Structure 1
Amino acid sequence: MRVVQVLGSSAGGVARHVAQVTAELTAAGEQVLVAGPSSVRSTVLGDGGRFVPVEIADRPHASDLVAIRELARAARDADVVHAHGLRAGALTVLAVRRRTRVVVTLHNLPVGGRAIRTVSAVLGRVVARGADVVLGVSGDLVALARSQGARRAERALVPAPARREPGQTPAQTRAELGLAADTPLAVTVARLAPQKGLDTLVRAASGVTVPGFVWLLAGDGPLESEVRAQAESSGAPVRVLGRREDVPELIAAADVVVSTAVWEGQPLAVQEALGLGAAVVATDAGGTREVTEDAAVLVPVGDDDALATAIRDVLTDHDQRERLRAAARDRVAQLPTPADVLTQLRSIYRV
């Protein structure tokens, strides 16, 4: 089967998912071509694989007409075209015009002002009515696609990242960070972008009334300098670490791993934390509950006080921490695997 995977500019999560899907399909004997901006090639394919550059901008642009022509050319001999993301999906639908089977995976709920929501609604209807199948990484995205006219919409399976075991002990990691072994420690791993609720994080940090508490924020993104400034000006016990390559070590060193997102699909950072047996506190955002079930303490989105209270309770209650860690280890065994994803996609592609 000849499959074209299409994606736009990606901060990492979508590109890593496409990389995983591409690797699984290729290993199963399918012929896969990836189409997307040149900037994502190394993330999706590494040093090998078949790739055609198609510059899909992250917002409407005159270059969209060029992208549509290039996507039509890439899809000419394909049995199925699978686009990832709302803009990539809409451009693919316009390029293919029902000549080839089209599957679109929606990875994000548009977050922003009225103009962004209006444009997103138009693109959503284009995707819903033009794609053969719409997959959503969370139940609310599936419901949205159905409300916009999708003929078939279902939940996409997104497996956790390949498990990476920590390369050193929590005590060693803490020592490298200048922290004592008994420092009450929260860790958040996130792209520093509006979707991640970082203003909630900083405000909640000031409300965690545990002596010596430290909250480490690992990641980079457009809000990095703003979050640093907010933490410094408020005196919140937040340390912004920037991009890190030692995420498993940070998670293993934490007393609690926290997600403060405004919206998530199937959050990879939360899945990674569950895989490492972490005690997790998270906002009940998007598909987060579908990932954690009862293996995390969930609080309302944007509720600083509830978040601070939940973190304090986990930090000060050893038994609760251990229950959450045991639940995390149990839950991760139930999450989808790459083999599950392959089975789902081949079934959808071949219908």
Structure 2
Amino acid sequence: MTKLRTVQVLGGGSAGSSAHVRSLAAGLVARGVRVTVCAPGALEEEYDFRGAGAEFLAVPRRSDPLALAALRAACEGAHVVHAHGLHAALRAGRVVAAAPRQPLVVTWHALSQAEGARAQWLRLRERRAVRDAAVVLGASSVIVDRARTRGARDARLGAIGIPAPRRGAGPHPGKVRAELGAMDRALVVAVGALEPHRGHGTLLDAARVWRGREPVPLVAVAGEGPWRAGLQRRIDAEGLPVRLLGRRDDVASLLAAADVAVLADCREARPLLAQEALRLGVPLVAASVGGVPELVGEAVEPVPHGDAPALAAAVGSLLDDPERRAALAAAGRAQASSWPTEDDTVAQVLSVYDELRAGRG
């Protein structure tokens, strides 16, 4: 066979899916595969796909004729097109529809929720996204089940491994705490884009409760997004002990400095915050939503989704119980050791690609 060529397609690119594509591209290139990544230009600046050995083509997230033409040109001659996320799958599906012998693989990273008319619209998008896929790789069992109910011909659990945080690569935890002003009080860390459905409102509700603690914990939120101004107004108006840090390139160091990490909401099956916290042995309080319970197992303090009093109580209880924090830290490291590695991910994807190429003659 000729050298395998694949095109990896990203839409908006959540942190988890973008990190996965970067890792996957590096692993495939190392195994002799020619990889082209098609994604918005801003993602190349952040994730450096070229640095992983891949070719990169900036393709905007839009689905207009110009964007689709650019994507179609990039996919011409590829043996496999691999889309990450529903939006990317919808666009890639339109491209491969004109090339019936070009298989499409879709990795579905996150579930969206909707009600009423929007729920019907979401179901239609999900059906279209999996309709043209030869194989759908779901990041969790919940996503695999959803793909099957939406009509996927072949849905499998995907091995989604990403690089472990590099120990010692960033500032010392003590330096991070000093920078944040948390030397003599507890530090609670959350990471995520400042946008709807990330649970930041629930987190601020809980932070209002923590004002009654002595000393008052500091809540540090790493991330940027359109909700920043509104969240900051509320923090200022209510005098909440919360700092919005903006985008950070030292999240592992930030988490390593934390007493507790919080995941108030997440639609991704394998959120990076949860993975990095458990690998680093940072006690995690997380909403039981989506694929999170499957990812973290017993190595978490679970709280109901959207329940600010429960979140406040769980964090407060951990801050008062160093033995429980130590037990969660040990359980987190053990749970993380059971996750797929980057090599596992590349091996599974290559197996799928080879299977599809063999099936197409």
Alignment TM-score > 0.5, same fold: yes
Aligned-pair CA distance for 1:114: 5.0
Q: Is the 8 A contact 2:16 2:268 kept in 1?
A: no
**Is 1:242 the counterpart of 2:246 in the alignment?**
yes
**Is 1:223 the counterpart of 2:227 in the alignment?**
yes
Mean Cα deviation higher: 236-245 or 271-280: 236-245
Query: Which amino acid is the alignment partner of residue 345 of structure 1?
Result: V
Alignment partners' CA distance in 2, 1:78 and 1:52? 14
Residue in 2 aligned with 1:19?
22
Deviation per CA, 1:233-275: give whole Å up to 9, x if none. 2232222122223322221221111111143310111111111
Structure 1 residues 111 and 233: alpha-carbon distance in aligned structure 2, compared to 1, 3 A threshold: farther
| Match among 109, 114, 125 for residue 123 of structure 1 | 125
Query: Which amino acid is the alignment partner of residue 10 of structure 2?
Result: L
Listed as ranges, the gaps of 5+ residues in structure 2 are 356-361
Aligned-pair CA distance for 1:54: 2.8
**Identical aligned pairs, as a percentage?**
38
Mean Cα deviation higher: 135-144 or 309-318: 135-144
Residue in 2 aligned with 1:143?
145
Aligned-pair CA distance for 1:113: 6.3
**Is 1:326 the counterpart of 2:314 in the alignment?**
no
| Match among 164, 173, 196 for residue 170 of structure 1 | 173
Aligned-pair CA distance for 1:336: 1.4
Q: Is the 8 A contact 1:128 1:134 kept in 2?
A: yes
Alignment partners' CA distance in 2, 1:250 and 1:92? 37
**Is 1:273 the counterpart of 2:290 in the alignment?**
no
Query: Which amino acid is the alignment partner of residue 34 of structure 1?
Result: V
Q: Is the 8 A contact 1:18 1:44 kept in 2?
A: no
Mean Cα deviation higher: 115-124 or 141-150: 115-124
Alignment partners' CA distance in 2, 1:246 and 1:30? 31
Listed as ranges, the gaps of 5+ residues in structure 1 are none
Residue in 2 aligned with 1:202?
204
TM, length-normalised to structure 1: 0.91
Structure 1 residues 67 and 329: alpha-carbon distance in aligned structure 2, compared to 1, 3 A threshold: same
3-state SS of 1:282 partner: strand
**Is 1:45 the counterpart of 2:45 in the alignment?**
no
Mean Cα deviation higher: 202-211 or 147-156: 202-211
**Is 1:345 the counterpart of 2:349 in the alignment?**
yes
Residue in 2 aligned with 1:308?
312
Alignment partners' CA distance in 2, 1:249 and 1:72? 40
Q: Is the 8 A contact 2:16 2:270 kept in 1?
A: no
Aligned-pair CA distance for 1:11: 4.8
Residue in 2 aligned with 1:134?
136
Residue in 1 aligned with 2:193?
191
Structure 1 residues 185 and 37: alpha-carbon distance in aligned structure 2, compared to 1, 3 A threshold: closer
3-state SS of 1:281 partner: strand
Alignment partners' CA distance in 2, 1:222 and 1:273? 25
3-state SS of 1:127 partner: helix
Alignment partners' CA distance in 1, 2:349 and 2:270? 17
Residue in 2 aligned with 1:68?
68
3-state SS of 2:19 partner: helix
Structure 1 residues 177 and 110: alpha-carbon distance in aligned structure 2, compared to 1, 3 A threshold: same
Query: Which amino acid is the alignment partner of residue 156 of structure 2?
Result: E
3-state SS of 2:67 partner: helix
Q: Is the 8 A contact 1:111 1:195 kept in 2?
A: no
3-state SS of 1:207 partner: helix
3-state SS of 1:196 partner: coil
Alignment partners' CA distance in 1, 2:37 and 2:322? 48
Alignment partners' CA distance in 1, 2:114 and 2:253? 34
